[in-house]
Amino acid sequence: MTGIRTPKEKRMILIAGRSHPELADEVASELGVELVPTQSYDFANGEIFVRFKESVRGCDAFVLQSHTSPINQWIMEQLLMVDALKRASAKRITVVTPFYGYARQDKKHTGREPISARLMADLFKCAGADRLMAVDLHTAQIQGFFDGPVDHLFALPLLATYVGRHVDRSKITVVSPDAGRVRVAERWTDILGSPLAIIHKRRDPEVPNEAKVYEVVGDVKDRICVVVDDMIDTGGTIIKASEALLENGAADVIVTATHGVLSDPAADRLKNSRISEVVVTNTLPIPDDRLFDKLTVLSIAPLIARAIREVFDDGSVTSLFETASL
């Protein structure tokens, strides 16, 4: 059985691309369904072919694909899957992107630049998507780019629960790595009951256009600093922020992030840093050569599965986060 039927014959199906099969299998297991058999392959010139091996007519389809490297290939594959579902008469199509590609390009910093995050939303809408689901978008405004319902899921309860159970909460100070993450950091303080500190970045006047000075705003002396961010890419910024905390007397630094992008040379940088632990979720696949002893990977599959179930049952996705506490 590859779907679930209700008494009214409403049918849910879960379809996954090739970018993160481990997460797709976990989500399917949580939902108690099998993934729809799908034929996917690349032509010699790089074009992608997809075809579903069973009928999807009238179904409530959820198309899971995490936008990892090679990111453009997996985005295109997901677009083709949505188009195939639309042309095969699926009743409703929800695009599930645990990591939403191009999210950092959400506004124009200077002239003659694209707003790529908006273009992404337009592409999915044009392909036939009715709904979008994502985990920890880089900025909340991206929800407004898609002309339809957007379910914005948060990994904060999962990450905060882990930290709260493994660290003495009386010694924790939550740290925002920059001004843009303060609001998220404040939600951490509400859950953990911990004070807040902020890393303020400014240019070094003696080294123009090159170096930055990382100033700590808040008391971190002898505290266990938990740095909270949405993603870790190359790791350079997060390591500099952690060094600033340690230089200001922090007893220890733990780094948490929803998305472990871990582009080279992030793994080596983090492994050799003074950070004691790096905690991420599995919204993105992490190859074996980028795993290291300090890295803890938590599964986001139960959250995604619960959100899919709520959407399918016409329930409330918001209710999943209303009672987040420890």
201 is an active site residue? yes
Q: Give the Cα separation of 13 and 25 in Å (integer).
A: 13
Q: Give the Cα separation of 24 and 151 in Å (integer).
A: 18
The residues, any chain, with a CB within 8 Å of residue 110's CB and separated by 6 or more, are none
Examine residue 285 and say whether the peptide bond preceding it is cis (omega within 30 degrees of 0). no
Q: Give the Cα separation of 10 and 57 in Å (integer).
A: 11
Which is catalytic among the residues 91, 201, 271, 294? 201
Q: Looking at residue 36, what DSSP letter applies?
A: P
Q: Give the Cα separation of 203 and 316 in Å (integer).
A: 45
Which residue has 């579902």 as its token pair? 85
Pairing of strands 131-135, 92-97: parallel
Residue 57, CA distances (Å) to 89, 225, 288 in order: 5, 52, 39
Supply the residues annotated as catalytic: 201
